[in-house]
Structure 1
Amino acid sequence: MPTPEIITLFAHVALGAFAVIVGAIAIGSRKGRKVHVSAGRAFVFSMGLASVLGAVLGAIKYETFWITFHAGILGATLVASGVLAVRIRQRGAKRLFTAVAGLNFLNAVALFVAGWYATTLPDARLFNFAAEDYFFLFGMAAIALGGDVRMIFWSPVSNRHRIAQHLLRMCIGFFIAAGSAFTGPGASAFPAAVRDSGVLSLPELTIVILTLFWLWKTLRQSRPLAAS
């Protein structure tokens, strides 16, 4: 009979894989249209739940999945703040955004401390993960945190800015999901020849390029298509 840990791991992987699929549809479709909205909602649900399960798994199996705990919290805060970014003008949204930003801040500090502590160890690894891995996630959390501060204290928030923040957070979350699937733990499912070819890095590179494109397209327009 499968143990709770195995069930959690299976659900985490399955939801993460689904998040990659619907995330690709959302980032590749025209923003604000029905396909984008439907795929985006599916991404928020799957990525959010996969992130929470990843954080639980990382806490339980910290000897081998500790960084998954931080990545899970980061993924959950990204999709939550991504949704709140477009709803920041609604009543009570800014208070919820502040709570999510607080959690992101604590996670960012923990990631920096973990990375720094890893550098003091003989092999510069903490729970089998290199210091660079912790600092990389810290960098993404810090980028989101900078946007958090601006969204909370900047008033009024323009359509371009709130949509740009939404895009950035969702795309970083998508980057984490794709990275976990293709160059992270999920890479073990591919043959060694595929892993060594470097082709598994292409999805992450594609996400970065599309993120920059959609941010440029959003910020250059006086009224973004997805503003409503």
Structure 2
Amino acid sequence: MPALDVLTLLAHVALGTLAVVVGAIALGSRKGRKTHVSAGRIFVLSMGLASLLGALLGAMKYDPYWLTLLAGILGASFVTSGVLAVRIHVRRAKNWFVAIAGLNVLNAAGLMTAGWYATTLPDARLFGFAAEDYFFLFGMAAIAFCFDVRMIFAAQISNRHRIAQHLVRMCIGFFIAAGSAFTGPGATVFPDAVRDTGVLSLPELTIVLLMLFWLWRTLRHPRPAVAGL
């Protein structure tokens, strides 16, 4: 493997690992407090860079990193839009959502096409990844696009909804990072005995459960004041 590819891969792995660690701190800490804000900023930076490097790696060496290209684009879009969600009232924020929505719909089309093509192959795998992997990420990209459309066309949005959008987008970005580390390509660093137990799926399950918990905490309060877009 060329030296540039190796350096890109190492940087991608290192930043992805950092994103998983600080993402866990941000998700588990009290929202709005100093620990959450500080860990969240590091998560956005590390996850964003890891996603971009993953996309770059996939562009440079599509076999076997084609899925990494598409997942990288998706991860970067989630953390970027997660930041924008809490700043939706800022001027030109809606224009950024238009651009992100366009990127997500193109990414969704690419994932659907890759998944469909994989189903036509003898082993239903494309560049080493099963058709289900592409369809799963397609579902995430489609959800992201629907969220983006909601933010673009809403005349106004409550603070509660704004925080909920931020939470879901960041958690899905975190889910992608954890999935890559524990059940995706990163799983190869663990012994077969560990992988066979299914314990590596627990981080992803934990993220989903914590996301639902914090969504419940966010949405159960009376509707706060409305912030204009």
Alignment TM-score, normalising by the size of structure 2: 0.95
Instruction: Report what 2:151 is aligned to.
Output: 151
Task: Show the 5 A alignment for 1:64-213.
Answer: 64-213=64-213
What is the CA-CA distance between 1:160 and the residue it aligns to?
A: 1.1
Letter in 1 for 2:43: F
Deviates more, 1:135-144 or 1:4-13: 135-144
Aligned residue-pair number: 225
Deviates more, 1:20-29 or 1:215-224: 215-224
What is the CA-CA distance between 1:69 and the residue it aligns to?
A: 0.3
2: CA distance between counterparts of 1:46 and 1:55? 14
1:16-54 CA distances to partner (integer Å, 9 max, x unpaired)? 000000000000011111111110000000000000000
Instruction: Report what 2:38 is aligned to.
Output: 38
Letter in 2 for 1:136: F
Task: Show structure 2 runs of 5+ residues with no match.
Answer: none
Task: Show structure 1 runs of 5+ residues with no match.
Answer: none
What is the CA-CA distance between 1:222 and the residue it aligns to?
A: 2.6
Q: CA RMSD for the aligned pairs?
A: 1.5
Instruction: Report what 2:54 is aligned to.
Output: 54
2: CA distance between counterparts of 1:167 and 1:100? 17
Aligned to 1:157, the other structure's residue is in SS state strand
What is the CA-CA distance between 1:117 and the residue it aligns to?
A: 1.4
Q: Give aligned-pair identity as a percent.
A: 75
Letter in 2 for 1:154: A
1: CA distance between counterparts of 2:5 and 2:185? 16
What is the CA-CA distance between 1:223 and the residue it aligns to?
A: 5.7
2: CA distance between counterparts of 1:123 and 1:198? 23
Letter in 2 for 1:127: F
Aligned to 2:157, the other structure's residue is in SS state coil
Distance 1:28-1:223 versus aligned 2 partners, 3 A rule: farther
1: CA distance between counterparts of 2:198 and 2:131? 22
Letter in 2 for 1:103: L
What is the CA-CA distance between 1:191 and the residue it aligns to?
A: 1.5
Distance 1:26-1:223 versus aligned 2 partners, 3 A rule: farther
2: CA distance between counterparts of 1:4 and 1:223? 51
What is the CA-CA distance between 1:145 and the residue it aligns to?
A: 1.2
Deviates more, 1:21-30 or 1:116-125: 116-125
Instruction: Report what 2:220 is aligned to.
Output: 220
Alignment TM-score, normalising by the size of structure 1: 0.95
